Amino acid sequence: MVIVGDATGAQIPKLDISLRLINYADVQNEDDIPQGPYPQQVVDEANEDLELFCDVLRDESVTVLRPDASWEPRYYHYCPRDGVLVHDDLILSTPQPLRARRTEYHALESILNQYGKMTVARCSQVDALYNTACLGDPDVLALNETEPCFDAANILRDNDNLYYLVSNSGNRVGAEYLQELCPTKKVWPIEDVYAYMHLDSTISLLREGLMLLNPSRIKSLDQLPKPLQSWNYIWCPDPGEVYHYPGYCNSSKWINVNLLMINPNLAAIESNQHALRAELEKHNIDCAMIQARHQRTLGGGFHCVTLDLKRQHD
Ligand code: DAV
């Protein structure tokens, strides 16, 4: 059972300190940052591609749910992975760094309420939380440590382990807070690996004991949390051509690492990623090659645009 995002209403909100520092710390000139609704072509094509993806999931007997469209996004509903962490009994609306995303979880609430009680973590998002020294300097992170703050997509789930990327979209005290919330789990902070956003384009957990690693960010297994150091791994091959709409780009070319395992032997990957397919097939993972024209434009691969709630083997 999985929630699949929706590009309808996607927009880039008015520039504030949170958006400037979290999404665009590497952009020098503010005038290069677009604003307002994404071009209609982007929204339409992204939605068309999401429909195809939903069809593939349904063909694999996956129940597909969609965000509640009556909640108009102030940012978007394209990436349900970003704001809510679902793991065992935990349903956590995380204390997100972007002000415009503060209420996004409401679009998922009616679905999630059927699975249990959602904990809504608040974040004040006051100016003092953000560190302007990060502009242009990936060695300085965008968030101060004044209060817990993180996107759910900074985390990967592995049974009783939660891997947590410390980056512009997740601070250290956020990892401590998550540990307090989940006393039966072990939270493993990952530092100095990727300064910008989220963990799921750096590491992808393919199945128990096998992971895909982004070679531009992981240089040595020592950078990984202990439990992952004994896993088998695949270095992600150089990505095939990934287009983005001119002037709009919300992710690196490594968005292909951000795949979704539909089941332990089937991955959803972007249709141009032939080298990745060949690697995965060597490990008996078949690939559903699915068109996703705006993965980079909107900053969401198949992992980001989904939130899996229940897997058959759970
Ligand atoms: O690799 O640029 C993409 C965001 C994934 N949630 C990247 C991060």
Global pTM reads 0.96
Ligand 1 atom closest to the Cα of residue 79 is 6
| pLDDT (tens digit per residue) in 205-218 | 999 999 999 999 99
Q: What is the pLDDT of residue 7?
A: 98
185: helix, coil or strand? coil
Q: Which residues line ligand 1 (CB under 6 A)?
A: 153, 197-198, 200-201, 251-252, 254-255, 258, 299, 304
For residue 77, tell me if it sits in a domain. Answer: yes
| pLDDT (tens digit per residue) in 99-157 | 999 999 999 999 999 989 999 999 999 999 999 999 999 899 999 999 999 999 999 99
Active site positions, annotated = 151, 198, 304
How sure is the predictor about 312, in pLDDT bands with cuts at 50, 70 and 90?
A: confident
Domain of residue 145, CATH code: 3.75.10.10
For residue 313, tell me if it sits in a domain. Answer: no
Beta-sheet strands, E only, within 29-138: 36-37, 64-65, 84-87, 90-93, 119-120
Best mutation site among 94, 254, 255, 260 for ligand 1 pocket (most ligand atoms within 8 Å of CB): 255
Q: What is the pLDDT of residue 311?
A: 76
Q: What is the pLDDT of residue 314?
A: 45
Q: What is the pLDDT of residue 222?
A: 96
Query: Across residues 76-82, what is the average pLDDT?
Result: 98
Q: How far is the centre of ligand 1, averaged over its atoms, from the C-alpha of 90 (Å)?
A: 24
Query: Across residues 64-86, what is the average pLDDT?
Result: 96
How sure is the predictor about 313, in pLDDT bands with cuts at 50, 70 and 90?
A: low
Residue 38's beta-bridge partner residues? none
Residue 170's beta-bridge partner residues? 150, 167
Our count of domains for the chain comes to: 1
Query: Across residues 40-65, what is the average pLDDT?
Result: 98
Q: What's the domain range around 46?
A: 2-308
Question: Concatenated DSSP letters for 225-265?
Answer: -HHHHTSEEEEPPPPPP----TT---S-GGGGG--EEEETT
Q: How far is the centre of ligand 1, averaged over its atoms, from the C-alpha of 56 (Å)?
A: 23
Nearest partner of 269 among 196, 212, 208, judged by Cα:
212
For residue 151, tell me if it sits in a domain. Answer: yes
112: helix, coil or strand? helix
Q: Which amino acid is at 94?
A: T
For residue 121, tell me if it sits in a domain. Answer: yes
Query: Across residues 273-278, what is the average pLDDT?
Result: 98
279-to-257, 267, 268 alpha-carbon distances in Å:
12, 12, 14
For residue 314, tell me if it sits in a domain. Answer: no
85: helix, coil or strand? strand
Phi, psi of 91 (to 5 degrees): -125, 105
Best mutation site among 197, 218, 257, 303 for ligand 1 pocket (most ligand atoms within 8 Å of CB): 197
Ligand 1 atom closest to the Cα of residue 201 is 1
Q: How far is the centre of ligand 1, averaged over its atoms, from the C-alpha of 200 (Å)?
A: 7
Average pLDDT over the chain reads 96
> Residue of the nearest CA to atom 3 in ligand 1?
251
| pLDDT (tens digit per residue) in 150-208 | 999 999 999 999 999 999 999 999 999 999 999 999 999 999 999 999 999 999 999 99
% of the chain surpassing 90 pLDDT: 96
Nearest partner of 87 among 143, 191, 147, 164, judged by Cα:
164
Place of tokens 């060695």: 139
Q: Looking only at Cα atoms, what is the longest distance across the chain?
A: 49
| pLDDT (tens digit per residue) in 242-254 | 899 999 999 999 9
For residue 241, tell me if it sits in a domain. Answer: yes
Nearest partner of 199 among 248, 240, 165, judged by Cα:
165
For residue 237, tell me if it sits in a domain. Answer: yes
% of the chain surpassing 70 pLDDT: 99
For residue 98, tell me if it sits in a domain. Answer: yes
